[in-house]
Amino acid sequence: MDVLCCLSKDEVYNNVKWLTRDEKNLYVHRLAVDPMYQKKGIGKLLMDFAEEYGLNNGLKSVRLDTFSKNKRNNKFYRSRNYIQLDDVYFPNQSEFPFHCYEKILN
């Protein structure tokens, strides 16, 4: 399994009213599981890893976005106690927004 982690933030997120200050946050840009391996808990394991990584490294929260029309992803993040915040737009990708989420790490 390949896992890639990067700590950075694109400018499109500057106007989002995040729950925590813009410091010590982990950003999950895209979570993807090969369709052949979906429904086996791999997405859960990847998010568990991201959250545990954040906790172990003193990060305050995990931030992410997901396509507003992807009902399964939105339900998945809400079930993990992520709070839905503002929307961001990527006009080159879709006319529909992406919902931003954040989970404070304790």
Residue 64, pLDDT score: 96
pLDDT band at 3 (very low <50, low <70, confident <90, very high): low
Q: Which residues, 6+ apart, have CB-to-CB distance to 83 below 8 Å?
A: 19, 101, 102, 103
Residue 66, pLDDT score: 96
The token pair at 32 is 């993807």
Instruction: Give me the torsion for CA of 9, 81, 94, 21, rounded to 10°.
Output: -30
Nearest to 85 by CA among 27, 9, 18: 18
Going from N- to C-terminal start, the domains of the chain cover 11-104
pTM of the entire predicted model:
0.86
- CATH for 11-104? 3.40.630.30
pLDDT band at 5 (very low <50, low <70, confident <90, very high): low
Q: How far is CA 66 from CA 18, 42, 56, 57, 106, in A?
A: 15, 17, 25, 24, 23
For the residues 20-40, what does the mean pLDDT come to? 92
What are the residues facing 63 on neighbouring strands?
27, 102
Pairwise CA distance, residues 103 & 99, whole Å: 13
